[in-house]
Chains A and B, each alone.
Chain A
Amino acid sequence: MANLTRRQLLRTGLAAGAMVTATQCARGTPNNPAPGPTVNTNQTKDVTLRFIGTGVSQINEIRQKAEEDLGFKLEMRALSTEENNQIAITQAGQYDVFDGEYFSLPLVVPSGNLQPVDVSRITAFDQIVPIFTTGQLYDGAKVNSSQGTAPHRVMFLTDQESTEFAPEPTNWATLIPFQYNADTLGYRPDLVGREITSWGELFNEEFRGKTSILDIPSIGIIDAAMVVEALGLMTFGDKGNMTREELDQITQILIEQKRAGQFRAFWKTFDESVNLMSSGEVVLQSMWSPAVTAVKAQGIECIYAPLQEGYRAWGGGIGLSRNLSGIELDAAYEYINWMLDGWVGAFLGRQGYYSAAPENAKKFMSQAEWDFWYEGKAATEDMIDPFGTKLESAGAVRDGGSFNDRMGNVVVWNSTMDEQTYLVQKWNEFVAA
């Protein structure tokens, strides 16, 4: 394994070098002749790129590896989803690279703080899964007609100067995706004692005072919608774009549940959900994939339940600040290309995320890892998380099965709604109730 990694590392280095050369040559214009690759390396090595993002991917291991491979410095800030969007929109001077979620784009893009990404400079763009470009995964997949702010709806801008989303792929992207997942409820089988198969269980009295929901309006409301729909308490025209009346009604239900003591706590960052689960405060809650693996890494059983109603999904990518130019912009493109080259995909894959360019990630995963995480096959060896802790013993199967089974069954995405202001107001009422 160690040998393999080293060899792969070399290969990445070569590939990155070749890629840098290629992009530099391609970019040469009469006024601005393309500098040779060596010059470029010398230039960018003094660059420091400032990232903002959530704890999901603002990880020191990724930073160290990127600095090693690319030769320039990165500064990472792990924020809550809310702070991340807030800074992206209001503090343009504080970051060079925005590592954010697609659902935030209807708010971030109009602020004009991001510059569109030139797709032609992204080497592996054609390997990106179609969920992001056309929205179609495979024939008959539920995800093809999923609701909410699906990434492909906000992936492209009409042109370089525009802040208007394009319905069809263009050369100008808002974010370049690198990670995404299908989210669902997580639970502790030792404390729940039976199988959980429906979102509706979150409001089951059996778990009163032992459940949790995430306190991020654009995500929490969708989870809540999955629950009330499953219980038959409400139906929605479009869960991803609720009307005021629907928001009033669902907030009312949430407040009733809160007053009845259904929730133990709310969480804003996924690590909080880990602590709630591993300390036994909560036995059933909406969770993110790395939270489940983190609970398991502590030797505690945790199931990321495939539910009959389907999954709520999210997608994350890298956007470029309007302030970036010159060698710093070049460095940011180098980072994006490095990010899609596979090492990051494999690293995050071992936590249960999917890579935007899975074929590249596969190069950095063992066959057993690929089969377990993507193919839904039984593990042929122990599964180890990116931080070296054992997650699963040989023989285990991933909850929810293969990539196609999980992503194909996505019915709704995290959303920014037309009534976003009203949603936030109602959500704050729920939190304060």
Chain B
Amino acid sequence: MLKSWKSVEPYLLVTPQTLVFLLFLVFPIATIFIVSFWEFTGYSMTPGFTLENYRNIFTSQVSLATYLNTFKFVGLVWFFTLIIGFPVAYFLAFYIDSLRWQIILFLVCTIPFWTSNIIRMISWIPFLGREGLLNKLLMGIGLTSQPIDIFLFSDFAVVLAMVHLYTLFMIVPIFNSLMRIDRNLIAAAEDTGASGFQVFKEVILPLSQPGIAIGSIFVVTLTMGEFVTVRLMSGGQAASVGYLIRNQIGSLQYPLAAANAIILLIVTLAIIFGILRTIDIRKEL
């Protein structure tokens, strides 16, 4: 009796969580998949089986350009969050001795995360605009006579805002990895005469890879489906898959949006499997 309870117990315990994901993740995505083959009539969708939606996407120049532009955003955001996030995590992990200060500085990094993303995004607007602080400053010190347009409503602004929003997702996993590195290992490497740079390259960097991978997965996932930042910071002018899907939903073209969503999912998963193939993150979990 006790034995059988023991074997059932874990299943009962994980049931609620599993149900949530089956009902609200697996089932909805299955629905999207089905709807992506449906037909569309101006204001409603009708059940059916057509490949027209996919054909539309694969033959359109615009969807190709949109995906390329999305990859551009993902690549740039990933690159900048990494080169900003890594030194910050590295500094916190190796150069701050007291636990107390480590916690305080770490909190300093995370506090902006507690503010609404949209508020953080729009807070760039008075800063970057044509009559914004940055242009006023540049014109004030005579670096430019005309306000610089590309600060706002541009790809630059989109990438900047995303880096601002998502760097933390890179810092936390990297910090986590770095904290797990055995300090004796570093001491040993130094004892054998390795230079600071060699220690970094041979010990720290390889051991921090799982953290980098997890951070990258977060950043890629968040950026791939983005539409709010793209809409607000590009002034509605930039293209991204998420924004395209959003626009198609807005104009009630659900089957087309569904087909795009399925492709987006496949592409995102492909990138993540690519990351996972290069770097083994199982130790971190």
In their complex, do chains A and B touch, with some C-beta pair under 8 Å? yes
Shortest A224–chain B CB gap in Å is 15
Task: Judge whether A215 and B236 touch: CB under 8 Å.
Answer: yes
Known contacts A83-B250, A281-B129; decide if A265 and B244 are in contact (CB<8 Å).
Answer: no
Interface residues of B in 234-272 (CB under 8 A from A): 234-237, 239, 243-244, 247-253
What is the chain B residue whose CB lies nearest that of A90? B252
Cβ-neighbour of A266 out of B60, B149, B236 (below 8 A): B236
Q: In whole Å, how far is B156's beta carbon from the nearest beta carbon of chain A?
A: 14
B43→A89 contact, CB < 8 A? yes
Complex Cα–Cα for A429 and B239 (A)? 9
A431 adjacent to B236 (CB under 8 Å) = yes
Contact A421:B235 (CB < 8 A) given known A280-B131, A428-B248 = no
A433 with B129, Cβ < 8 A, contacts A89-B43, A111-B44, A281-B152 known: no
Give Cα A420 to B40, complex, Å.
Answer: 12
Q: Mark A395-433, 1 if CB is under 8 A from B, else 0.
A: 000000000000000000000000011001100110111
Say whether A263 faces chain B, with CB atoms less than 8 Å apart.
yes
**Interface flags, B17-44, vs A, CB<8A=1, else 0:** 0000000000000000000000010111
Q: Is B65 an interface residue (CB 8 A)?
A: yes
- Decide: A111 near B251, CB < 8 A? Known: A265-B237, A432-B62: no
Residues 44-66 (chain A) with a chain B CB within 8 angstroms: none
Known: A111-B43, A258-B237. A433 touches B131 (CB 8 A): no
> Does residue B130 face the partner (Cβ distance < 8 Å to A)?
yes
Cβ A264 vs Cβ B60 within 8 A:
no
Contact at A428–B252, with CB atoms within 8 Å?
Answer: no
Query: What residues on B are CB-neighbors of A265 within 8 Å?
Result: 153, 234-237
CA distance A137 to B251 in the complex (A): 33
Among B44, B153, B237, B244, point to the contact of A281 (Cβ < 8 A): B153
Which of B125, B130, B237, B249 is most buried by chain A, counting CB atoms within 10 A of its CB?
Answer: B237
State in angstroms the CA–CA spacing of A89 and B249 once bound together.
Answer: 12
Cross-interface CB contact of B62 among A83, A280, A429, cutoff 8 Å = A429
Give, as a whole number of angstroms, the nearest-CB distance from B57 to chain A.
11
Report which residue of A215, A267, A280, A431 has the largest number of chain B beta carbons within 10 angstroms of its beta carbon.
A431
A93 interface residue (CB < 8 Å to B): no
A37 within 8 A of B: no
- Most chain-B Cβ atoms within 10 A of its Cβ — which of A108, A276, A281? A281
CB-CB under 8 A from B125, the residues of chain A are 279
Task: Give chain A's interface secondary structure class.
Answer: helix
Contact A424 B130 (CB under 8 A): no
Q: Return the CB mask of A287-318 against B: 1 if under 8 Å, else 0.
A: 00000000000000000000000000000000
Interface size of B as a range: 20 to 34
Q: Bound state CA distance, A265 and B130, in angstroms?
A: 13
Chain B residues positioned under 8 Å from A267 (CB to CB): 235-236
A82 and B251 contact, CB distance less than 8 A: yes
Select which of A89, A107, A108, A268 is within 8 A of B236 by beta carbon: A268
- Given A424-B251, A429-B60, A433-B239, decide whether A264 and B153 contact each other with a Cβ distance below 8 A: yes
* A369, B60: Cα distance in complex, Å: 53
State whether A264 touches B43 (Cβ < 8 A): no
Residue among A83, A212, A258, A428 with the highest chain B CB neighbour number at 10 A: A428
Q: In this complex, what residue of B is CB-closest to A218? A: B251
Given contacts A421-B40, A428-B244, contact A279 B251 (CB under 8 A): no
Q: Which residues of A contact B247 (CB under 8 A)?
A: 428, 431-432
**Complex CA distance for A420 and B152, rounded to whole angstroms:** 32
Q: In the assembly, what is the distance between CA of A426 and CA of B97, in Å?
A: 59
| Given known A110-B43, A111-B44, A281-B152, contact A424–B253 (CB-CB < 8 A) | yes
B66 at the interface (CB under 8 A from A): yes
The residue from B63, B66, B235 contacting A264, defined by CB atoms under 8 A apart:
B235
Which residue of the partner chain, among A89, A432, A433, contacts B252 with CB atoms under 8 Å? Answer: A89
A209: contacting residue among B149, B236, B244, CB under 8 A: B149
Q: A107 to B248, alpha carbons, bound, how many Å?
A: 15
| Chain A residues, Cβ within 8 Å of B237 | 258, 263, 265-266, 431
Query: B150 to chain A: closest CB distance in Å?
Result: 10
Chain A residues, Cβ within 8 Å of B251: 82, 217, 424, 428
With both chains docked as a complex, state the minimum distance between the C-beta of B76 and any C-beta of chain A, in angstroms.
Answer: 18
Interface membership of A86, Cβ < 8 A: yes
- Identity of the chain B residue whose Cβ is nearest the Cβ of A281 in the assembled complex: B130
Q: Evaluate contact between B65 and A433: CB separation under 8 angstroms.
A: yes
Which B residues touch A263, using CB under 8 A? 235, 237
B residues in contact with A429, CB < 8 Å = 60, 62
Q: List B36-71 residues whose CB lies under 8 Å from chain A.
A: 40, 42-44, 56, 60, 62-63, 65-66
Most buried by A among B40, B131, B236: B236
Pairs across A and B, CB under 8 Å, 17 listed: A83-B250, A86-B249, A107-B43, A215-B236, A263-B235, A263-B237, A265-B236, A267-B235, A268-B236, A421-B42, A424-B251, A431-B247, A432-B62, A432-B65, A432-B243, A433-B62, A433-B65
Having A280-B129, A421-B253, one finds 10 other A-B pairs with CB under 8 Å, namely A89-B44, A107-B42, A108-B43, A263-B237, A264-B235, A265-B236, A267-B236, A425-B253, A428-B248, A432-B65
Chain B interface residues (CB < 8 Å from chain A)? 40, 42-44, 56, 60, 62-63, 65-66, 125, 129-131, 149, 152-153, 234-237, 239, 243-244, 247-253
